[in-house]
Amino acid sequence: MNVTRLGRTQVPVSALGFGAAPLGNLYSAIGDDEARATVDAAWDAGLRYFDTAPHYGLGLSERRLGAALAHRPREDFALSTKVGRLLEPHPAPTGSDLAAGGFAVPDTLIRRPDYSRSGVLRSLEASLDRLGLDRVDVVYVHDPDDHLDTAVGEAVPALLELRDQGVVGAVGVGANQVGPLLRSVTETDVDTVMVAGRWTLLDRSAGPLLDVCAARGVSVVAAAPFNSGLLSRPYPAADATFDYGPVPPAVLHRVRGLVEVCARHRTVLPHAAVRFPLRSPEVACVVAGFRSADEVRAAARWAAADLPEAAWADLDRAVEAAR
């Protein structure tokens, strides 16, 4: 699988990256054995970039991912985690994090936003402990939308110091919205941004961000290429999710139009969804979340095979016509 370096750093990432939110029991639980088998399948398929966060399952994703990679040569993979949410004891647990956080784990911990310098350092130290590692390759400031001044003024500078000291390889910001990422790129010296769900086959609103990143030598990691599920199946059902909620009927109609275009070119919707971000030179890799070995193997096949130019032209026309 192709490998690209992030920005001006030496951190290598595979064209397809492993998003570890499902290892934290996103929406529903999976077992430890299934989590391990999913990571093993990713390794066998050539994935060498793995992304996690404390938010994912209140630390469960980090623990599972660290355990699954513990026997792999450390120099053979890149791993990223995130800062901005400290995990602290829950003063009044309800029994499950599913309603509050979206993860099927006990809510014995609670997330407290903290984008201060001290909060960033505490968060990273705790992540390293859960991962069982002495370093991570990339650290992202996670979803700083409502704390952007502190993130730009304290969190990013703290991570840049760690980068300059050689403690981390690259520094980035990750978000679902384009605005915070644009400000982070223009006001700080980040190496990369992770944009979730905004540079996909369906949602191309991150176009201005890619332009700015290209001008400044910042790499883009395109996460959530399936828009949280809608584009993950050859024919989306009415109960599919879009941006972590029910899919609006108008959006479902648009996507089913893209299904027809894919069929005419003898491919399937999720293949186009995985490949779309990789068309852009600013995109170093696409990161998708996986909860089974079969999902990993399918995505790896799609990532390795491009669509014909005629297919892209028809898909682009269909997306533009539906706006």
Please say whether the beta carbons of 96 and 106 come within 8 A.
Answer: yes
Tokens of 209: 């961000």
Distance CA 174, CA 181 (A): 7
The residues pairing with 174 across neighbouring beta strands, listed in sequence order, are 142, 194
pLDDT in tens, 78-102: 999 999 999 999 999 999 999 999 9
The Cα–Cα gap between 19 and 105 comes to 18
The pLDDT assigned to 86 comes to 98
- Per-residue pLDDT, 1: 85
Instruction: Give the pLDDT score at 274.
Output: 98
Tell me if 1 sits within 8 A of 285, measured CB to CB: no
| 3-state SS, one letter per residue, for 122-178 | HHHHHHHHHHCCCCCCEEEEECCHHHHHHHHHHHHHHHHHHHHCCCCCEEEEEECCH
Instruction: Give the tokens for residue 67.
Output: 């355990």
> Which segments of the chain does DSSP mark as H helices, in order?
32-44, 60-69, 98-101, 117-131, 148-150, 156-164, 178-187, 207-216, 249-264, 269-275, 293-304, 309-321
Task: List Cβ neighbours of 210 (8 Å cut-off, separation of 6 or more).
Answer: 199, 220, 280, 282, 283
Which runs of consecutive H residues, i.e. helices, occur in 10-59?
Answer: 32-44
CA distance 8 to 262: 36
Q: List, run by run, the mean pLDDT of 10-residue segments along the chain (323 residues).
A: 93 98 96 98 98 98 98 97 98 95 97 98 98 97 97 98 95 97 97 98 97 98 95 92 90 94 96 98 97 97 96 95 74
Catalytic residue among 49, 56, 115, 140: 56
> CA dist 256 to 138, 244, 294, 300, Å?
37, 19, 24, 23
Confidence at residue 244, expressed as pLDDT on a 0 to 100 scale: 84
Contact 300, 261 (CB under 8 A): no
Q: Per DSSP, what are the bridge partners of residue 195? A: 175, 222
For residue 166 the two structure tokens come to 């050689």
- Active site annotation includes 56: yes
> Cβ distance 59 to 132 under 8 Å?
no
Alpha-carbon dihedral sign for residues 62, 63, 68, 70 = positive
Torsion angle in degrees (nearest 10) through CA of 176, 9, 58, 55: -10
Nearest to residue 84, comparing CAs of 41, 145, 2, 10?
145
d(CA 25, CA 9): 32
Q: What is the structure's pLDDT at 285? A: 97
Q: What pLDDT was estimated at residue 19?
A: 98
| pTM, to two decimals | 0.96
What distances in angstroms separate CA 195 from CA 211, 241, 266, 320, one per listed residue?
Answer: 14, 18, 29, 21
Q: Which of 230, 244, 198 is nearest to 102 (CA)?
A: 244
